[in-house]
Chains A and B, each alone.
Chain A
């Protein structure tokens, strides 16, 4: 399965609740960031955690978020500070307005 996003794309983390094991931290749900690295594709931990095969593999991305976009001033960071997380593709959506040209 070919990755949907490329480096530089703006993405938004799905703000969904998810019962059971998953690796998308709550503090990033609904937040918008930029794809900075691609890490290939991996079996889906949401299935692996229950003894299932976790296929098809999910593309994995390092997404970078501005601290201020995540915490809106409510934290101890400098203006240019950032946080990254590694997120599987099914948790990401194109960030409509500000997307920098992935396909059409």
Chain B
């Protein structure tokens, strides 16, 4: 299990054999915190023992660097333009995003639609569950004690901190991701975007609008509340 089984030829100049963890790739910043030294120690030990290779770590980082909110924005823009796709997306998120080439393995991707009556906002009070496989790593605030604690109890105050002020006639529905589903908000399509193409629409779909802390941008590209 020490050899690379990716099947990519350019991986074959490998770092897989024991005691080869050099040259050390320089960190952008020298480690100074205890945990940074621990990260290095564990990584070196795992490489020395053949549990992982340095190349596998680098490839995994690269793979995850490719997961960005723009992927979700593409999904949302497609749903705004194509009612049949939207229907499939709301029925089975995993299958529908696969149509656009996005994998979402292991967990159930549930897309929930914001409407004029219901505004959904996602949180994970118990840890930090997030549709990472599509949007990439969550923002720091999503993982914070403040966001995780307060959103289920004072959603209107939290939304206001994000500049999102909704009428009392709208039901704010806080979705606590407590189990095996990962939620993606399908924000409302902004008025004044008739005739826009997918690429153009996708630019209005922010990460926060897919978490539900914000609305999609206005046609002028501004935040709306």
Contacts and interface: CB of A to CB of B under 8 A. Distances in A.
A23 interface: yes
B180 interface: yes
A24 B125 CA distance: 10
B126 interface: yes
Interface in B2-16: none
Interface string B34-72: 000000000000000000000000000000000000000
A71 B153 contact: yes
A77 B155 contact: yes
Contacts of A77: 153-156, 172
B171 A82 contact: yes
A83 B176 contact: yes
Nearest to B166: A78
A87 B154 contact: no
**Interface size class of chain A, counting residues whose CB lies under 8 Å from the partner chain:** 20 to 34
Contact of B108 (A39, A70, A71, A84): A39
Nearest to B173: A82
B119 to A, nearest CB: 9
Given A78-B168, A79-B168, A25 B154 contact: no
Contacts of A84: 173-176
Interface string B71-91: 000000000000000000000
A79 B169 CA distance: 9
A81 B125 CA distance: 17
A41 B157 CA distance: 35
Contacts of B168: 78-80
Interface in B126-153: 126, 152-153
A82 B168 CA distance: 12
Interface in B156-199: 156-157, 168-181
Contacts of A83: 152, 155, 173-176
Given A25-B125, A27-B125, A86 B181 contact: yes
Contact of A78 (B108, B172, B178): B172
A22 B176 CA distance: 14
Contacts of A71: 153
Given A25-B126, A82-B174, A83-B174, A39 B153 contact: no
Contacts of B155: 67, 76-77, 81, 83
A34 interface: no
Contacts of A88: 179
Q: Which 4 A-B pairs have the closest CB atoms?
A: A76-B154, A86-B179, A76-B157, A78-B168
8 contacts: A24-B178, A25-B125, A75-B154, A76-B157, A77-B172, A78-B171, A83-B152, A85-B176
